[in-house]
Chains A and B, each alone.
Chain A
Amino acid sequence: MDKDNLIINLTDISFSYPEGAPLLNNLSMQFYKGDRVGLIGPNGGGKTTLFHIIMGLLKPYSGKIEIFGKPVREEKDFRSVRQRIGLLFQDSDDQLFSPTVLEDVAFGPLNLGKSVDEAKVIARKNLDSLGLSGFEDRITYKLSGGEKRMVSLATVLAMEPEILLLDEPSAGLDENTRASLIKVLTGLDLSYILISHEMEFLDSTTTSVYIMKDGKVFMNGDRQIHRHYHIHPHSALPHRHESGFGKKYTDFLA
């Protein structure tokens, strides 16, 4: 990967919540344009925190953040970052705060200085592309969980970002919504980092995995998610699978 395509460059980031053990511990991570990365790791391992640090919502105690080749430190540096990196929150109710869907999707573009009419056009275009036409006047809190997730994605995409940070986008979705989410993500011309605990979902949406462990990100790529099929009779003899989905992915982190 050449240096021009280096988008996110974190060096020696350390972070801990008040009265907590260090959550991120001299973490370094590089993310390149065109990457589609899955981020896996145990619950409470700092994955969401890492996203929030990239967006400037949390301040690390130490370390250097470079985004699009420029160091970012202060709130005003992060403002321009937030236009180019879109964060999809774990809980869609955090993301959707406007009364109606159209208002919520138009919120970002309006903040970027678009006129009301332009913002409406952008919002409609994004809703349409996610198969949400006709949702404009729906009341956000009355949407189903899956609809909320897709509308949240539309609100993020309406900012026209270059990179997405997706925090467990597939959690709690039914088969159909998951399938359409996979279709949308793979059809996008965007780079993204995606947190998920679901191997199949990661397999369909990402090309490599970063593993988070002990407050660090391991991105050497020696562990790949792959699908495998095997066949055996449902024999009378009980048997164990020594590897594969039968094993928890955290077992592979060691």
Chain B
Amino acid sequence: MMIEESFVNGNSLIHRLNPVLKIGFAIIYSFVVAVSSKFPSLFAALFIALFLVILARLNPRKAAVRLAAVNGIIILFWFFLPFTFQGEALFHIGPFAVTRPGVIFAAGITLKANAILIAFIALVATMRVTTLGHALNSMLIPEKLVQFFLLTYRYLFVIQTEYQKLTRAVKVRGFRPGTNLHTYRTYAYLAGMLFVRASVRGERVYQAMLCRGFKGKFYSLHEYSISKADITCAVFMTAAIVILVVLEWTKII
């Protein structure tokens, strides 16, 4: 499947922010939200994330589609978590008791997952994968990991094309998958061939890099300046984190 980058085209404040700031906030925010458990702080977190999406002026329908994917998994939690916790029963479905701690726990997970995901859609999905790579490079992420990430992104498409070529090749010769050994063997061949091609490709790419004087070091063409808007946003983002921490770990409410 291709990485679509469907949110990168935009000219909102969020799109123009320094990518390092966006990634930095997204990471700290995620950690705070992940370890929070009180509902005031979780709702505040969700509110902050929604506010960021509004600031980024993203297409709400597309964002909802992405959220649906994650909430599909979260629904599974709702099927068993309310029944598996001990505690005060809210009501009974047949022989099973739906407990209060179970419902609270499931609700907490739902809020956390959605808040973090929405924040990432607003902050990280609004930059190109390449920008993300370069920004990570200028943060503390090791260069090798960043290059690994960018090369994977670059060749995902090539390998996908090769996979499509292979599947087309079997289709045009009348292959129809079924539950039999022939099908399993064919899929094994496809997978094996894909690995072989990917590794041969990797070798050729490396040779091409050697031919252009590659000595093991990558250089980045990008430098990101810090604008006034970045500083203002950094202040607001810090304030947002402080509010979340105060709501979670102090006894104001």
A interface with B by C-beta (< 8 Å): 52, 55, 57, 79, 82-83, 86-87, 89, 91, 93-95, 97-100, 102-103, 106-108, 110-112, 116, 119-120, 139-141, 155-156, 159
Contacts and interface: CB of A to CB of B under 8 A. Distances in A.
A82 B212 contact: yes
Given A99-B128, A141-B154, A156-B212, 17 more contacts: A57-B210, A57-B211, A82-B212, A82-B213, A93-B158, A97-B205, A97-B208, A97-B209, A98-B154, A99-B130, A99-B154, A108-B213, A111-B214, A116-B219, A116-B221, A120-B221, A159-B212
Interface in B130-174: 130, 133, 150-151, 153-155, 157-158
Contacts of B210: 55, 57, 82
A4 B213 CA distance: 26
Interface in B18-48: none
B221 A106 contact: yes
A55 B206 CA distance: 13
B66 interface: no
Contact of A87 (B130, B157, B158, B211): B211
A141 B160 CA distance: 12
A141 B156 CA distance: 10
- Leading 8 A-B pairs by shortest Cβ distance: A111-B213, A99-B130, A108-B212, A110-B219, A94-B204, A141-B157, A57-B207, A95-B208
B212 A107 contact: yes
Contacts of B221: 102-103, 106, 116, 119-120
Contacts of A94: 201, 204-205, 207-208
Interface of B: 128-130, 133, 150-151, 153-155, 157-158, 201, 204-205, 207-215, 217, 219-221
A79 B216 CA distance: 13
A98 B213 CA distance: 15
A111 B215 contact: yes
27 contacts: A52-B207, A82-B211, A82-B212, A93-B158, A93-B201, A94-B201, A94-B208, A97-B151, A97-B205, A98-B154, A99-B129, A102-B221, A106-B219, A106-B221, A107-B209, A107-B219, A108-B212, A111-B212, A111-B213, A111-B214, A111-B215, A111-B219, A116-B221, A119-B221, A120-B221, A141-B157, A159-B213
B213 A79 contact: yes
Contacts of A83: 213
B211 A86 contact: yes
Nearest to A93: B158
A57 B204 CA distance: 10
A141 B129 contact: no
Contact of B130 (A57, A100, A120): A100
A169 to B, nearest CB: 14
Interface of B is mostly: helix
Nearest to A58: B207
A97 B154 CA distance: 7
Interface of A is mostly: helix
B23 to A, nearest CB: 17
Contacts of B208: 87, 89, 94-95, 97
Contacts of B150: 98-99
Contacts of A89: 204, 207-208
Nearest to A142: B157
Nearest to A92: B208
A159 B210 CA distance: 12
- Of A57, A83, A94, A108, which is in contact with the most chain B CB atoms at under 10 Å from its CB? A94
Contacts of B201: 93-94
A111 to B, nearest CB: 4
B217 to A, nearest CB: 8
Contacts of B205: 94, 97
